[in-house]
Amino acid sequence: MLRANQSIVIHAARDLRLESRDIAKPGPGEVLINVQAGGICGSDLHYYQHGGFGPIQLREPMILGHEVSGLVAALGAGIDNLEIGQLVAISPSRACHSCSYCLQDQKNHCLNMQFYGSAMPFPHIQGAFQQQLIAGATQCVRAEGLTASQAAMAEPLAVCLHAIAQAGDLRGKTVLITGCGPIGCLSVLAARHAGAARIVATDLSDYTLKMALTCGADLALNTLTAPSALQPYQAEKGQIDIHLECSGAASALAAGVACLRPSGTLVQLGLGGDMNVPMQAITAKEITLRGSFRFHAEFGVAVALMQEGAIVVDPLITHSFGMDALTEAFETATDRSQAMKVQLRF
């Protein structure tokens, strides 16, 4: 039997525990949330499998999670746009609104960012995989018409919407998406909504490629079983207008550069550590290389697009587990032969 206000805490690689944590009353401008659903993200899996990624390593126990939704349980003073019992999607992005980047409307680069479940600073920023969570009212987006599971997809969808904004106008363009995990498949949905004329997706797994087709990709290529599958797109200096690189793999980046036409655009979403970049080809073909990191304003847009039915995320939510099946949930989420987005019920 779970105790009240259980939290999912990572102590080290493969050392995941349910622990009871105290919860305070919401202060002015704050909201108490009864968390309903939370998606396991790639970064959560890195903490679970390896204790971190690259130079970002656990130095103390940390509550995981940043893709969550829940019901408003209590309101602090000064809040008039939310109601008790209301479903909200909760943005994990808590910018300070006063640093130089915030004042330049680059809040995803906030110098004092408090992003749920991050071991980047020390002390670590505790995450949102808790049965009850205090959030700022400005983090909460009303999610009427959505299920809790759908609302919890706002965060990864916002990541992809930010990448689409980085890529520029996709109308009538041919888009290559490398890596068809949750971010890659959501990028397929976002690119199609943005007007892409043709979407080519690549991955090493037939299961994820099937999901990419379900999301609207025109062509799905397994570059493990068919290493030369992208060769036709390299003809005449390249046939691809926009490359959204979602895998974080150097080989995928290089393959995309070979396929990009002169003056094409490469947007790097995947975080796989430092990579060798084919700079000579990027220079010779005058390719624009852009990074894409997190999001800010796109979070509310993601909720609105799902509410309108303009983007439907349901096929990507493949599994749901209760908190008492924690290890099974995380192990399932690591298996790209059977799982896409694995969510937890709180």
Three-class SS state of 25:
coil
Cα–Cα distance between 137 and 325 in angstroms, integer?
A: 31
Q: What is the pLDDT of residue 4?
A: 66
The answer on pLDDT for 273 being more than 90 is no
Per-residue pLDDT, averaged over 35-41, amounts to 98
Q: Is the pLDDT of residue 1 over 80?
A: no
Residue 271: the pLDDT is 82
Nearest-angstrom CA–CA distance, 110 and 76: 25
Express as a percent the part of the chain with pLDDT over 70. 99
Average pLDDT of the residues of the chain: 95
Q: For 90-129, what is each residue's pLDDT tens digit?
A: 999 999 999 999 999 999 999 999 999 999 999 999 999 9
Q: Which domains does the chain have, with CATH numbers?
A: 6-153+313-345 (3.90.180.10), 160-291 (3.40.50.720)
Q: What is the pLDDT of residues 7-30, one digit of tens each?
A: 999 999 999 999 998 888 999 999
Query: What pLDDT, on the 0 to 100 scale, is given for residue 2?
Result: 46
DSSP 8-state secondary structure symbol assigned to residue 252 = H
With 80 as the cut, is the pLDDT of residue 272 above it?
no
CB 43 within 8 A of CB 125: no
| Longest CA span, the chain | 64
pTM metric for this prediction: 0.95
Does 279 have pLDDT greater than 50? yes
